[in-house]
């Protein structure tokens, strides 16, 4: 073999015997130039061709923070050496890893979400986008599909690689820095898109490319009422830049209303499908186009669909489902069956669109979606109902023209939901939670004492959870979003004083600690924000449970103590609202204005508006002074 030193390869005679690897000047020398024990090796990595200026090379990492680089004349010889060396340092419990065509194998330390106090030893084997693992406490190998990770990140301060998949988070630590950097680079590289076909993209748990799922979800949430969706062009430079972001690392791209325009996102989706290698319909695309007999086309489509690769099947199903939903709202977006077929036929078949054969296939797939894809019609109805709700909700939240057009009569409860506690309040679009709270208190003539923290709460009885509205939060959008099991309630916030004391003791608003959490998914397939380990706090709505003893917690995050929950809640509120948690100054000014002494000239009698000429007003005042009830006798 060849041994690299000082950037150059030198031919050496190598011997692997009895757990020791030695290299000599030649096969005639009796004294080795150097060597290492197999138990000292922490990692073996096979280098891609010409990585080190040599076709067939591999690397050995030792626990002494040393890297040995070897090369051979042909791939067969290198493969023999790699297998022999790996077999010498991989323990018997992880020997199944040796059967794989690995590019990197070795030991790493790891922690999981349930036990982050102490790291344990595991054996890892990287094969393409699959990371095979034999963990210390498990008796069988596990596999992580790196292209399906929800998140992959590095914590550089403590050299930890974080792998987040549904239901598990794995924290990987290297034995040594040099070894860790090699693993981190290889895992990050293999977790990205590895080519231009659908199966080589970063995928969701359902085998759909992340770029496809996120574009579809964005359009479903914000674009189904956009007239001419998928027909209108976006800004070419923005489309190209967004598409490049997705290709670089789709997991890190989050589409947000306001930051991304609907037409740019819709064109990114079309451009992705037009450029994908082998296309969505694969190598048998011509068979889809050649189905001409109308009576047998549907059966032929079903057969062709069943023969597609797994990722192509999942992606086609998701896209046609989306297009089916788009055309169901054609009265709003003007994109009926025919219009969608004209746009997506040439796009999905990567054709010039000179004839309608590609469009006819897309039209058939959308029109006969339920039959071709064996769709559960009840589930589809629920999905359409949920989309209808989203559209109505967005329509209600949209500003309306005309004075007072945003005012609604709302039912608000005081302290407890019961008939005698009902208050019907006219809520304008500008009313805040604090203004509503004191409107209710004033109606009931409840005076606010110094340590009284009255708040307006959004209460969900079915889910047994509630959320105190921030005092500057607008009430009307909240009212429009309430379901049949939810209501607004004004009551004292008994945790507020403790929260304010906690925040006052903090120099910097931050918190860390262990909490339990779970995930949920809606009918539309939208992932909760908890499918990733990083959540933008300002985008969250944070609720807390009300009836912990009645049934298991139904909220996402679960604390061990009430005090811990208060501290987390206070931290969320402070970050979301720039430190403004309680309107202390506003309350002082309000109390001062409410307690101002009445003008003694008028006593405590309600004032009556006077109209007419100056002489008529004088006469009215004189009459009122002589007989206060005189003005009302003719009413």
Tens of pLDDT, residues 269-328 = 999 999 999 999 998 899 999 877 777 889 999 999 999 999 999 999 999 999 999 999
Tell me what pLDDT residue 627 has: 57
Going by pLDDT thresholds of 50, 70 and 90, the confidence category of residue 546 is low
Rounded distance between C-alpha atoms, residue 573 and residue 470, angstroms: 8
Least confident window among 9-13, 47-51, 90-94, 274-278: 47-51
Provide mean pLDDT across the span 336-359. 91
Whether the pLDDT of residue 156 is over 80: the answer is: no
Contacts for 40-43: CB closer than 8 Å, 24+ residues apart: 40/64, 41/85, 41/89, 41/106, 42/106, 42/107, 42/175, 42/176, 42/179, 43/104, 43/105, 43/106, 43/107, 43/175, 43/179, 43/182, 43/183
Tell me what pLDDT residue 610 has: 46
Whether the pLDDT of residue 433 is over 50: the answer is: yes
Provide mean pLDDT across the span 185-196. 87
Tell me what pLDDT residue 237 has: 94
Going by pLDDT thresholds of 50, 70 and 90, the confidence category of residue 594 is low
Cβ contacts of 387 within 8 Å, gap of 6 or more: 220, 224, 325, 329, 524
What pLDDT digit, counting tens, does each position of 61-78 carry? 998 888 888 888 888 998
Task: Give buried/exposed letters for 269-308 (b at 16+ CB in 10 A, else e).
Answer: bbbbbeebeebbbbeebeebbebeeeeebbebbeebbeeb
Q: Which range is most confident: 374-378, 444-448, 475-479? A: 374-378
Whether the pLDDT of residue 606 is over 60: the answer is: no
Q: What distances in angstroms separate CA 410 from CA 32, 84, 457, 484, one per listed residue?
A: 89, 76, 14, 13
Q: Do β-strands 454-460 and 486-492 pair in parallel, antiparallel, or remain unpaired?
A: antiparallel
Least confident window among 119-128, 262-271, 400-409, 467-476: 400-409
**9 near 3, Cβ under 8 Å?**
yes
Q: Residue 578: how many CA atoms within 13 Å on its side-chain side? A: 3
**396 near 388, Cβ under 8 Å?**
no
Rounded distance between C-alpha atoms, residue 169 and residue 151, angstroms: 9
Q: What distances in angstroms separate CA 169 from CA 188, 331, 510, one per listed residue?
A: 16, 45, 22
Q: Where is 392: in which H helix or E strand?
A: helix 377-397
Going by pLDDT thresholds of 50, 70 and 90, the confidence category of residue 241 is very high
Tell me what pLDDT residue 625 has: 56
Look at 484 and 271; give whichever has higher pLDDT. Answer: 271
Residue owning tokens 């009122």: 624
* Residue among 523, 528, 526 nearest 219 (CA): 526
Burial class (CB in 10 A: 0-12, 13-18, 19+), 99: exposed
Provide mean pLDDT across the span 94-119. 84
| Number of residues assigned to the chain | 635
Whether the pLDDT of residue 601 is over 60: the answer is: no
Least confident window among 21-30, 306-315, 549-558: 549-558
Tell me what pLDDT residue 426 has: 82
Tell me what pLDDT residue 602 has: 39
Read off the pTM: 0.60
What torsion, rounded to 10 degrees, do the Cα atoms 553, 558, 563, 567 define? -130
Q: Which domains does the chain have, with CATH numbers?
A: 2-89 (2.30.29.30), 104-191 (2.30.29.30), 200-397 (1.10.555.10), 408-521+537-593 (3.10.20.90)
Average pLDDT taken over every residue of the chain: 81
Tell me what pLDDT residue 89 has: 92
Q: What distances in angstroms separate CA 200 from CA 212, 242, 262, 394, one per listed residue?
A: 13, 19, 26, 36
What pLDDT digit, counting tens, does each position of 195-223 carry? 889 999 999 989 999 999 999 999 998 89
**279 near 350, Cβ under 8 Å?**
yes
Find how far residue 476's CA is from the centre of its chain.
27
Rounded distance between C-alpha atoms, residue 262 and residue 220, angstroms: 10
Q: What distances in angstroms separate CA 468 from CA 181, 452, 543, 568, one per listed residue?
A: 46, 15, 8, 14
Task: Give buried/exposed letters for 202-239 (b at 16+ CB in 10 A, else e).
Answer: bbbeebbbbbbbbbbbbbbbbbbebeebbeeebeeebb
Residue 250 has φ and ψ, to the nearest 5°, of: -60, -30
* Residue among 20, 65, 64, 70 nearest 45 (CA): 70
Q: Is 130 helix (H, G, I), strand (E, B) or coil?
A: strand
Q: Is 410 helix (H, G, I), strand (E, B) or coil?
A: strand
Extended beta strands in 304-433, E state? 408-414, 422-427
Tell me what pLDDT residue 6 has: 54
């Amino acid at each position: 073999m060849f041994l690299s030193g000082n950037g150059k390869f030198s031919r050496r005679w190598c011997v692997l015997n009895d757990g020791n690897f030695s290299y000599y000047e030649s096969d005639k020398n009796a004294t080795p130039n150097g060597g290492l024990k197999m138990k000292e090796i922490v990692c073996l990595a096979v280098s891609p061709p010409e990585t080190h200026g040599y076709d067939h090379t591999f690397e050995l990492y030792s626990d002494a923070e040393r890297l040995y680089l070897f090369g051979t004349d042909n791939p067969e010889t290198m493969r023999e050496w790699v297998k022999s060396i790996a077999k010498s340092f991989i323990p018997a419990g992880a020997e199944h890893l040796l059967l794989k065509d690995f590019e990197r194998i070795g030991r790493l330390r790891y922690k999981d979400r349930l036990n982050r106090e102490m790291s344990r030893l595991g054996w890892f084997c990287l094969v393409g986008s699959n990371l095979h693992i034999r963990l210390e406490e498990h008796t069988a190998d596990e596999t992580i599909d790196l292209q399906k990770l929800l998140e992959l990140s590095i914590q550089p301060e403590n050299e930890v690689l974080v792998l987040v998949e549904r239901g598990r988070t794995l924290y990987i630590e290297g034995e040594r820095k040099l070894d860790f950097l090699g693993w981190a680079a290889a895992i990050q590289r293999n977790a990205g898109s590895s080519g231009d076909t659908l199966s080589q993209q970063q995928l969701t748990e359902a085998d759909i490319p992340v770029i496809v799922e996120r574009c579809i979800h964005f359009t479903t949430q914000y674009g189904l009422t956009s007239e001419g969706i998928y027909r209108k062009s976006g800004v070419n430079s923005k489309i190209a830049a967004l598409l490049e972001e997705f290709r670089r690392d789709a997991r890190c791209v989050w589409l947000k209303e306001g930051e991304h325009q609907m037409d740019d996102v819709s064109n990114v989706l079309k451009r992705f499908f037009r450029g994908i290698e082998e296309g969505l319909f694969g190598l048998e695309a011509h068979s889809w186009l050649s189905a001409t007999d109308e009576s047998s086309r549907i059966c032929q489509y079903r057969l062709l669909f069943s023969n597609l690769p797994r990722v192509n099947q999942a992606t086609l199903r998701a896209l046609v489902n989306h297009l089916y939903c788009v055309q169901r709202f054609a009265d709003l977006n003007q994109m009926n069956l025919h219009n969608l077929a004209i746009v997506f036929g040439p796009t999905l078949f990567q054709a010039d669109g000179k004839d309608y054969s590609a469009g006819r296939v897309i039209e058939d797939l959308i029109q006969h979606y339920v039959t071709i894809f064996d769709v559960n019609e009840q589930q589809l109805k629920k999905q359409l109902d949920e989309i209808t709700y989203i559209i109505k909700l967005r329509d209600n939240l949209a500003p309306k023209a005309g004075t007072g057009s945003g005012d609604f009569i709302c039912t608000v409860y005081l302290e407890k939901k019961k008939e005698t506690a009902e208050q019907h309040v006219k809520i304008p679009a500008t009313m805040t939670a604090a203004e509503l709270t004191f409107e209710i208190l004033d109606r009931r003539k409840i005076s606010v004492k110094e340590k009284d923290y009255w708040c307006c709460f959004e209460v969900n009885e079915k889910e047994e959870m509630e959320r105190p509205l921030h005092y500057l939060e607008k009430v009307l959008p909240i009212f429009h979003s309430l379901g049949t099991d939810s209501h607004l309630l004004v009551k004292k916030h008994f945790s507020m004083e403790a929260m304010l004391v906690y925040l006052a003791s903090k120099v910097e608003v931050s918190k860390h600690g262990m909490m339990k959490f779970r995930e949920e998914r809606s009918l539309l397939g939208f992932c909760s924000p908890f499918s990733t380990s990083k959540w933008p706090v300002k985008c969250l709505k944070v609720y807390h449970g009300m009836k912990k003893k009645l049934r298991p917690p139904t909220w996402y995050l679960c604390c061990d103590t009430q005090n811990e929950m208060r501290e987390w809640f206070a931290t969320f509120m402070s970050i979301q609202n720039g430190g403004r948690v309680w309107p202390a100054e506003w309350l002082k000014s309000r109390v001062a204005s409410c307690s101002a002494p009445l003008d003694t000239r008028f006593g405590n009698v309600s004032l009556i508006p006077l109209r007419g000429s100056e002489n008529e007003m004088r006469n009215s005042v004189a009459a009122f002074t002589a007989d206060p009830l005189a003005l009302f006798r003719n009413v």
